[in-house]
Amino acid sequence: MELVRLETPSAARDWCAQRRAEGRSIGFVATMGALHRGHMTLVRQAAQENDLVVVSVFVNPLQFNDSTDLERYPRDIEGDCARVEEAGGTMLFSGTLEGFFPGQIQADGELQPASLVDPGSAALGLEGEFRPGHFMGVATIVNSLFEVIEPTRAYFGLKDFQQCLVARDLAKARGNPTVVLCRTIREEDGLACSSRNLLLTLEWRDEAPVIQRALGATRVLWQRGERDAGVLRDFLAEGLGASALSVEYAAIRDPLAWTPNDPTGTLDQAVGLVAAKAGKVRLIDSLLLHTDGGDLGL
């Protein structure tokens, strides 16, 4: 079926409301575009589990705390449409900040504070610390998208682990939608698929898979019985130590009990999280150590 393309929240809201009134379930995947295999896996899963799939493509200025990063972020809306259609998407919604928040953008380009959504306690630490304001931007837009689309289920990728927790908490507070967390899709050498990979030079592209190797080795350590949070964290950091990447954090958290700071003592479940710069490109990745991503109970 040909993909429906809508650009205003009111058109998207009407379209979705009509489908819901017909009794159809809506799966939703929020993206910033430049879609790759990781995004497509979310779209395919949404297509399997729902009658219709809505994909949003919106490079959200609110979640960038670095204007160069926002300018350089890859964009390919025509390619995105083709990929979404091929993966079974029904409607692609591309909005603008002004469209979401008419009359609420200040002269400095920032959204007026009253329109911002609190991302909650999962936003504290790690990404929240290194990217101040990032999760406020994520929560604000995801909340608007949930309001417009009112999906039955929304799909998020575990690569952006903390974002999954923020989205889950937001959905819980609203009472909908059901948040489905999806495992990370990787390139053959282990590097997590990311729109930002397009920006890597050949040299940094060769270096970047060390992130997944360090996370994978830490999972092996877990599988061999190591449960001490500090030991796991040091091992993860050491795995990255020899690389040329500039590591912002290499951390361990209890995925079921998020803490802004490093946990101490033994853990019953754990996730390893890394953010590192490969030249000018900031990459993040995460790996659950205690499970291959089945039921997380999150």
CB of 22 to ligand AMP, least distance (A): 27
Q: Hey, which residues does 285 pair with through a beta bridge?
A: 274
A 10 A CB-CB count for 66 gives: 11
Site for ligand AMP in 115-174 (CB under 6 A): 156-157, 159-160
CB of 18 to ligand AMP, least distance (A): 26
Strand order in the sheet with 246-253: 246-253, 271-278, 281-288
Residue 185 as a binder of ligand AMP (CB under 6 A): the answer is: yes
Is 152 in contact with 27 (CB distance < 8 Å)? Answer: yes
Q: Return the structure tokens found at 112.
A: 């007026």
CB of 256 to ligand AMP, least distance (A): 19
CA dihedral 80, 82, 87, 88 (to 10 degrees): 110
Q: Which is nearer to ligand AMP, 141 or 229 (CB)?
A: 141
By CB under 6 A, which span of 14-22, 32-40, 142-150, 221-229 interacts with ligand AMP? 32-40
- In the chain, the amino acid numbered 150 is E
By CB under 6 A, which span of 83-91, 118-126, 188-196, 234-242 interacts with ligand AMP? 188-196
| Residues contacting ligand AMP: total by CB under 6 A | 17
Q: 27: helix, coil or strand?
A: strand
d(CA 6, CA 174): 25
Residue 281 as a binder of ligand AMP (CB under 6 A): the answer is: no
Q: Active site includes 39?
A: yes
CB of 93 to ligand AMP, least distance (A): 14
By CB under 6 A, which span of 180-188, 211-219, 236-244, 254-262 interacts with ligand AMP? 180-188
d(CA 75, CA 140): 22
Is 127 in contact with 159 (CB distance < 8 Å)? Answer: no
What residues are annotated to the active site? 39
Interface residues with ligand AMP (CB under 6 A) are: 31-32, 38-39, 41-42, 156-157, 159-160, 182, 184-185, 192-195
